[in-house]
Amino acid sequence: MRWIALVFLSFVLTSCGNKPAQKESSESGITFVYISKCIFTMGDSESKYPDEKPSRSIELSPYKISDAEISNTAYVGFLNDAYKKAEIKITKSRGSPLLTVYSAISPFENKPLLYWVNSKGAENKPSWITFENNSFGVVGGKENLPVVAVTWYGAMSFAAHYGMRLPTEAEWECAARGGRNLAFPVQDIFNKDFNYYNKFGSPVKIRSSKPNPFKIYDMAGNVREWCLDEYDVVFYISSPRFNPVKLPTVTSTRDRVVRGGAFDSPLTNCRNAARFHLPPDFFDQKTGFRVVLEKSGT
């Protein structure tokens, strides 16, 4: 596994842009969209939420972001490889058939990565990931659902394992806006395919809804997504114009930023500027993530 500490010790930001997006696949099977250098307006000065103000012009360097949320299949690939290398460990709570995955290596040693393993959807705990005969798998038919019950530590560990990282919230918002100053990732957010307001009652398969102008999927609703940043209610007031990020320390337990809304979110929570935050060890059935390549090129 690539050391997650590198994210904090040698964090090199890349970008967001207005040229036509280019797609490519990585060795891990994830499809990425290359976003060229761009300047965009981040935040919403008209919002009733003070942490979204003020809106300001932000410039990002080029970067590559996954075109969809990380699926159960992709996450199981990480788990099996990490398990073989003794980089994770599995625990069972007394009186429960469910398993929890923890990191076995620094910098997140003993931190929870994934909950509800072997739940198979029971008791409203739909991780859909199984562990049987010393191997992780996915319940049939659930392979392309976004992975859930994953903590910020679990998202970070996946990303670092493949030499990637989580997007900063600035990169996330740039990707969501798609090179246009739209309030939502797509103009026709009311399209029947978009999953919010409990339209389908649970997450749906990745890439089920229309992509935005950058050909990126799932930026509104379905599952909300972990970002790299530590949450700061006044960060927009003092953050730099170039590549802003509120880097957490490895040991910090302060809330992390989540973006995009979820399948049960009201429409206002699916706005590109909407900000939310959760503790890094939080998990539920409606929080997942996407990734950015650590070395993205120019």
Give, for all 298 residues of the chain, the pLDDT tens digit.
443 333 333 333 333 444 545 676 665 789 999 998 888 999 999 999 999 999 999 999 999 999 999 999 999 999 999 999 999 999 997 778 899 999 999 999 999 999 999 998 777 788 899 999 999 999 999 999 999 999 999 999 999 999 999 999 999 999 999 988 889 988 778 878 889 999 999 999 999 999 999 999 999 999 999 999 999 999 999 899 999 999 998 889 999 999 999 999 999 999 999 999 999 999 999 999 999 986 544 3
The separation between CA 224 and the C-alpha centre of its own chain, rounded to angstroms, equals: 7
- What's the domain count of the chain? 2
Task: Note whether 119 and 186 are same-domain residues.
Answer: no
Domain membership flag for residue 198: yes
Q: How far apart are CA 103 and CA 16, in angstroms?
A: 32
- Residues paired with residue 132 on neighbouring β-strands, in sequence order: 135
Domain membership flag for residue 138: yes
Domain membership flag for residue 105: yes
Domain membership flag for residue 298: no
Beta carbons of 211 and 191 less than 8 angstroms apart: no
Task: Note whether 133 and 188 are same-domain residues.
Answer: no
Task: Note whether 134 and 165 are same-domain residues.
Answer: no
Query: What does the pLDDT read at residue 7?
Result: 36
Q: How far apart are CA 193 and CA 203, in angstroms?
A: 12
Strand 164-165 vs strand 224-230: parallel, antiparallel, or unpaired?
Answer: unpaired
Which residues span the domain enclosing 148? 80-155
Q: How far apart are CA 69 and CA 286, in angstroms?
A: 12
Q: Is 48 exposed, middle or buried (0-12, 13-18, 19+ CB in 10 A)?
A: exposed
Q: Supply the pTM of this predicted model.
A: 0.91
Coil, strand or helix at 81: helix
**CATH number, domain at 282?**
3.90.1580.10
Phi, psi angle pair for 268, to nearest 5° = -60, -30
Task: Note whether 188 and 63 are same-domain residues.
Answer: yes
Task: Note whether 57 and 186 are same-domain residues.
Answer: yes
Query: What does the pLDDT read at residue 2?
Result: 40
Query: What does the pLDDT read at residue 192?
Result: 82
